[in-house]
Amino acid sequence: MDMEDYFEYTAKLFDQSAIMGKPEALKGIRVLDFSHVIFGPTAARILGDYGAEVIKLELPYYGDLWRPATYWGKYWKHSNPIWHSVTKNKYFITVNLRLQKSKDLIYRMAEKADVVVENFAPGTAEAWGLGYSQMSKINPKIIYLSCSTYGQYGPMRYFPGWDLLAQAASGVLSLNGYPNTDRFYKLPDYLGDFGPGNFGALAIVMALYYRNKTGKGQYIDIAQTEAMMRMLYHFTFYSLTGRELGRVGNTDPTMIGAAIYKTRDEKFVALACGTTKQFHGLLKALGREELAKEERFINYRETLKPENNEYLRKLVAEWVKGKTAEEVVASGRDYEFPAAEVMDDYQICYDEWRRERGSVILFRDDMYGEIALSGPSAQLSGTPSRIKWIARPLGYHNRYVLKKFLGLSEEEIVALEKQKVIGTFDDRPGLKPPVYYNLDNDPIYNYGREVGK
C-alpha cells in the first residue's frame, strides 16, 4: 500500500490555517474566574483556549493586580504586554464585591456556570459568600477550583504566598544553582504560578470528564507548593539513599556528559546522552570511540558515576570550545545525541520553526493590532487551542455579559453603574484602552447600544 509521506500527512493534520474551522472541545462550558495575577488566571485561560466561555470578574476602577505589573515598567500601548497571554479569550467584567447587589449578580451567573476558579487567600471566598459551600447550594453541579500557596486546610493555610514562596517552601528554589556555594536562583517567569496553573486546569478537565459521566460537581483544592513538589524526584532519592542530591550547577547527573557549554562563537549549547547508543554517538563525534571500551565507561550506570561523568564533561567542554553552536547541534543531529542551543526571548520570538509550527503566533487583534504570543504547549489536531482576542480594558465586556448572558436591560445596567455595582477603568495604564482607541465606536463595549454616530 502506498502511503502519503508522513510529514506531508502531518502538515495537513496540523494545518495552522485550518484551526478556526475546527471544533472546540470545551465549547458550552462557562467559567467564572474570580482569580487574579497568574496562578488562577492561567487555569481559567487554558479552558478558554479550548473553547470555554471564561468570565473574568474584577473590582471596578481597580482590577487585577497584574494589569499594571509589566517587566521593568515597560508598557505596550498602555497595556502590560505579558498580561495578554495570561488573559486571552476572556470576558472582562467588573463587580464591586462589597455590595450585596454584586453578589446577587454573581449568584445568578453561578446558576448557569460550570466552573469557578478563585485564588484569594484561603477562607476569603467563603467569608465573602462566594465559597464552594455557598456556590454549590446554588448549583450542585459546579466544579470549584480553589488555588493557594499551601492549600485550603492544614496549619499553614492562612499563610499568604506567591510563586516565589511556593518555590521556597517546596525545595525547588534551593536546587537551581551551584554546589558548594550559596549561589542559587529562583526559576524565571513565575513558573511557580504557570506550572501549578496548568495542573489546576488538568484537575478541572478531569472533573468535567467525571461530571459528564455522573452528573456530579466537586471541590478542588490545589496548593502551588504541592504542585511544584510533584516535579521533584529528590524526595524519593533522599528516602532511598539517605543522601541529599543538592544543587548540580549546569549539569544533569542523570545523563552522560550533560551540561551547558560555551562554544567558539560565544554562544551556549546544552548537550546530553540518555542512552549508551547516544553516548557512543557522542564519542564518535568527539573522535574518541576507544573510550567506550574502558572499564569506567563500560555501561550507562558506571559512566554516570560522578568522577567518570566529570571526566567526560571536561572532554566535551574542550570539544565544544572549538565548535560553533551550529556545528554542535548539527553533530547531535548526525550522530544522534541530544543537543540544542540556549535560546533567548528574541530568538524564540523570531524562530522560523516556532512560527511555522504555531508555537509563536503573530496575532492581529482588533484593539491592539499585531503582537507575538506563545502558542499552546500541546498541539491538538482535532480540537486545537486558538486565540480569539487578547486582554481588554477593565469592564470592557460588562454590557455584553450582563445583557447576553443574564438578559439585563440597558436601564438596569445604567442603574448598576450609578450604584457603583459595576464600573470600568481609570487613567492607569494596564486598565485603560490604548490612547488611539475610541471605545465609543466599539460594538462589544457598547453592546446593545447604538455606536458609530
Partner 1 sequence: MTTETKEAIYTRYGRPSELARALAQIMDPEGKPEVLEDVLVLDASYANFSGIIAASLFAEFGAEVLKIEPPQGDPARHMTPEGEEVEGVGIPFIVEGRNKRYMTLDLINSPEDRETFRKLAKKAAVVIETFPAGQMDSWGIGYRQLKAENPGLIYIAITPYGQYTKKAREFVRLPDSDITAQAGSGLPANMGDIPEAGEPYNWPLKAGLWAAWYISGLSAALGGAIALVHRQNTGEGQMIDVASMDSYANMVTIPPTIGYTWEKPRPRIGVLDFILYPYGHWQCKDGMVAIAAPRDHDFRALLKILGLWEIEDDWRYSSDRIPDILEQATHLHKIIQEKTIKYNADELVAKALNYSKKAARSKWRGGGVPIVMRVMTPVTAMANKQWHIRKAFQEVEEPALGKRFILNASFVKMSESPPRIKWVATQIGRDNEYVREKYLAES
Residue where the block lists cell 466537586: 218
- The smaller minimum CB distance to partner 1, of residues 341 and 410, is found at 341
Closest distance to partner 1 from the beta carbon of 329 (Å) = 8
Closest distance to partner 1 from the beta carbon of 404 (Å) = 24
CA distance 95 to 85: 23
Give the three cell numbers for residue 6.
Answer: 508522513
Closest distance to partner 1 from the beta carbon of 318 (Å) = 15
Burial class of residue 182 (count of CB atoms within 10 Å of its CB; 0-12, 13-18, 19+): exposed
Closest distance to partner 1 from the beta carbon of 315 (Å) = 17
CA distance 379 to 359: 9
Q: Which backbone phi and psi does 139 adopt, to 5 degrees?
A: -145, 95
Closest distance to partner 1 from the beta carbon of 395 (Å) = 22
- The smaller minimum CB distance to partner 1, of residues 189 and 265, is found at 189
CA distance 77 to 430: 9
Closest distance to partner 1 from the beta carbon of 436 (Å) = 17
CA distance 340 to 272: 9
Q: Are 178 and 247 in contact (CB under 8 A)?
A: yes
- The smaller minimum CB distance to partner 1, of residues 112 and 230, is found at 230
Give the three cell numbers for residue 189.
Answer: 517567569
- The smaller minimum CB distance to partner 1, of residues 352 and 411, is found at 352
- The smaller minimum CB distance to partner 1, of residues 102 and 146, is found at 146
- The smaller minimum CB distance to partner 1, of residues 266 and 450, is found at 266
Q: Are 117 and 200 in contact (CB under 8 A)?
A: yes
CA distance 136 to 138: 5
